[in-house]
Amino acid sequence: MSWASDWDVVIGLEVHVQLATQSKIFSGSPTAFGAEPNTQASLVDLGMPGVLPVLNAEAVKMAVRFGLGIDAEIGRKSVFARKNYFYPDLPKGYQISQYELPIVGKGHVDITLDDGTVKRIGVTRAHLEEDAGKSLHEDFQGMSGIDLNRAGTPLLEIVSEPDMRNAKEAVAYARAIHALIRYLGISDGNMNEGSMRCDCNVSIRPKGTEAFGTRREIKNVNSFRFIEKAINAEVEWQVEQLESGRKIQQATVLYDPATNTTRAMRTKEEANDYRYFPDPDLLPVVVSEAFIEEVLRALPELPEAKRARFISEFGLGDYDAARLVGDKDLAQFFETAVQAAGSANAKLVANWTISELLGRLNADEKEITDSPVAAGQIGGLVARIADGTLSSKLAKTVFDALWNGEGPTADAIIEARGLKQVSDSGAIEAIVDKVLAASAAQVEDYRASDESKRKKKLGFFVGQIMKESQGKANPQQVNEILLRKLGG
């Protein structure tokens, strides 16, 4: 961008994760996405007189799991506070949150950049709080509706240090958080349903200066693509303001995907505007060493550890390993496919999973969990490539058939269609002789050409031979026999 040499960008993210507990954080009411409005609002959510909150212990355990997952300090004593503000979707007039003593202290998340380098992003804190309700504007002409189903849902708010310097780093960090919460089993991370939302704090400063500029917070961004687009749009706006001699006012802004612009919603509040004070109805949360040890022992293999294992155990490169472990379901798919193909073929499984399968899924806007081709089927296909039964071209034909549900396994499709690769050298040599005999002029031209031109002309003969064999001839043997014949 034109301003890149003049300005530094400073980004911090606040990631709001909806914890996958069966009930709300301060009541026993159930939580389920998609229920009819206000059918899951509890008396606590409604702020009814005399109703007292009771903490959900499972939410505490999930917060500690996250803290251990980012190698963070676990608050042995944390306190809930009341964050006071008025909004129609907050009937109590305050939100129960944590302020001075959060349950998770300083930690870190490592991200892999495009050039393969690893950058450490600091996490300032992660605290538990209740979600607010939701205002609905679309279905009410001249009015707004209030849905309190989401109110009281347990949230973990993860606050990063301002360590990111461009939108791609911010997306990489958000993806790393998304992968981690799914591996830990504390949230499904479904951004379409609001299980994970991001607030992006963005400021700029002249290149070479230390002091941060005035930040603006982009509120409730709900996709990785929009995180990148919203940050870039906000940076462009801030640069334009400062280069035009105007000042930037601290504010909360919204991103509009339709216009690719950010617009101010309100001036940004400071902590003292919320009049935080300890919630008088909730005791401090005391976490014992024994409890932390119990949670630690139950932690699963996390993305970084899995990435290192994929590299050492399967011989994968950094990119492939990082790509596969970035999604819990994709990593499991890969390992299941490797079991079917044999660990010696793990690299080939990775290639087919990333290039062919994910390419097709992305084109059809499907997730790995919706794949028409199962992991075992990919493994079986790769096994037939590895043992020479299929050429790469025939393998794509079999893959298409698996995708379309034409057979239960690669072997069944190969048998039904007669797609087995021809590796009999005598049969291939006969086809080569037939093609060369019918292409005397091209043979003479090839032999009269220099080395650089011969490589291009060789493709003609290979194409004719593969056509004659209906794509079944072993390509490696074709090339070996063809070169020997032409050279002679």
Highest mean pLDDT among 188-197, 256-265, 330-339, 433-442: 330-339
Domain boundary among 250, 268, 295: 295
**Residue 137 structure tokens:** 């504007």
**Residues 448, 309 within the same domain:** no
Residues 384, 433 within the same domain:
no
Same domain, 139 and 286: yes
Residue 235 is predicted with a pLDDT of 97
Query: Average pLDDT for residues 315-334, to the nearest whole number?
Result: 94
d(CA 63, CA 78): 12
Give the CA angle between residues 387, 358, 170 to the nearest 5°. 135
Q: How confident is the model at residue 3 (pLDDT cuts 50, 70, 90)?
A: low
Closest residue by Cα to residue 16 from 78, 95, 73, 92: 95
User: Which of 256-270, 284-298, 311-325, 441-455 bottoms out in mean pLDDT, i.e. has the lowest?
Assistant: 441-455
**230 beta partners:** none
**Same domain, yes or no: 227 and 123:** yes
Q: State how many domains the chain has.
A: 3
At 376-397, the pLDDT tens digits run 999 999 999 998 888 888 899 9
Q: 121 and 34 in one domain?
A: yes
- 195 and 170 in one domain? yes
Q: Which helix (H) or strand (E) holds 201?
A: strand 196-206
pLDDT tens digits, one per residue of 11-29:
999 999 999 998 999 988 8
H-helix or E-strand spanning residue 296: helix 289-297
Please give the DSSP secondary-structure letter assigned to residue 126: E
Average pLDDT, the chain: 91
Same domain? 328 vs 350: yes
Same domain assignment for residues 227 and 309: no
CATH code for the domain of 437: 1.10.10.410
How far apart, in whole angstroms, are the C-alpha atoms of residue 44 and residue 174? Answer: 32
Residues 281 and 370 in one domain: no
Examine the domain organization and report whether 365 and 432 are in the same domain: no
Cβ pair 53, 44 in contact under 8 A: yes
pLDDT confidence of 116, banded at 50, 70, 90? confident
63 and 168 inside one domain: yes
**267: buried, middle or exposed (CB in 10 Å: 19+, 13-18, 0-12)?**
exposed
Which of these three, 263, 295, 327, is where a domain ends?
A: 295
Q: Of 239, 264, 295, which residue is a domain's last?
A: 295
Token pair 């959510």 is at which residue?
45
State whether 217 and 350 are in the same domain.
no
Nearest to 132 by CA among 191, 45, 62: 45
Q: By 3-state DSSP, what share of the chain in percent is helix, strand and coil, each rounded to 5?
A: 45, 20, 35
The pLDDT of residue 210 is 92
Domain range for 282 is 2-295
β-strand pairing of 94-98 with 80-84: antiparallel
